[in-house]
């Protein structure tokens, strides 16, 4: 796992990975290596031209994981996926596609899904990661208005990363989900790994897909052999 972006989101992803692995004992779980570097430069700031690129720090972590023998890498940060192509080019690392996994999960869960809203960082919005992936899947991806982004989504993400009381952030994310509902969206993707931590109320507004969950499920699908009931022996990093 190439983590630390942020620290709580990394811990949350590992918990979900364990929960979704159909292991019958401790010994049967997937072997996992974690490189969690909270000093990785802010991904959104870099995309907005307000900070250094995170690629060198990401590549350092990926190379450490590769030397340890991992077979695939999970990056529990949506915005960091804007740099996956550069990361793979620099290291040859195989990275699970969190963006596609989240949208495919939404399509499976909501019958006839055509229009899906996304709650994400400004950096993820800027890159169009979800829009491009949605187009390949035949989905119309919609963002909240800029005012809602700034007042509610950005504020909630900052609060969660800062360890604030979750009451306010949960209310703000629900308000953002109501905005998407008003735009005709049939579902919403929590497309920042901090957002699922405060998305309980939003899930009562629209069917909500947790991108962290989707990534965990993709990792299990990649490494687990359900027919034999045992793990592959491959390591996820």
Mean pLDDT of 214-235: 74
Catalytic positions are: 77, 192
What digits encode the pLDDT tens for the residues 169-192?
999 999 999 999 999 999 999 999
Residue range 98-211, CATH number: 3.40.50.1860
Task: Please name the fold of domain 2-97+214-231.
Answer: Rossmann fold (3.40.50)
Mean pLDDT of 28-42: 94
CA distance 13 to 97: 15
What digits encode the pLDDT tens for the residues 103-126?
999 999 999 999 999 999 999 999
Write the CB contacts of 158 (distance below 8 Å, at least 6 apart in sequence): none
Mean pLDDT of 133-138: 97
Q: Where in the chain is the domain with CATH 3.40.50.1860?
A: 2-97+214-231, 98-211
């Amino acid at each position: 796992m190439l983590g630390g972006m942020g620290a709580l989101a990394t811990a949350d992803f590992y918990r979900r990975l364990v929960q979704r692995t159909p292991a019958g004992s401790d010994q049967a779980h997937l072997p996992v290596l974690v490189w969690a570097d909270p000093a990785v430069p802010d991904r959104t700031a870099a995309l907005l031209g307000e900070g250094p690129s995170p690629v060198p720090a990401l590549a350092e972590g990926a190379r450490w994981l590769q030397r340890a023998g991992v077979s695939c890498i999970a990056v529990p940060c949506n915005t960091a996926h804007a740099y996956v192509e550069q990361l793979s080019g620099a290291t040859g690392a195989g990275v699970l596609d969190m963006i596609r996994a989240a949208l495919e999960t939404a399509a499976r869960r909501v019958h006839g899904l055509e229009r899906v809203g996304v709650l994400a960082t400004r950096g993820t919005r800027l890159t169009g990661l979800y829009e491009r992936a949605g187009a390949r899947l035949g989905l119309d991806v919609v963002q909240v208005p800029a005012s809602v982004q700034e007042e509610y989504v950005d504020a909630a993400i900052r609060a969660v990363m800062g360890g604030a009381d979750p009451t306010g952030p949960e209310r703000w994310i629900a308000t953002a989900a109501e905005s998407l509902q008003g735009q005709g969206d049939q579902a919403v993707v929590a497309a920042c790994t901090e957002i699922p931590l405060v998305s309980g109320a939003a899930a009562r507004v629209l069917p909500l897909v947790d991108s962290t969950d989707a990534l965990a499920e993709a990792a299990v699908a990649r490494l687990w052999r359900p027919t034999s009931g045992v793990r592959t022996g491959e390591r996820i990093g």
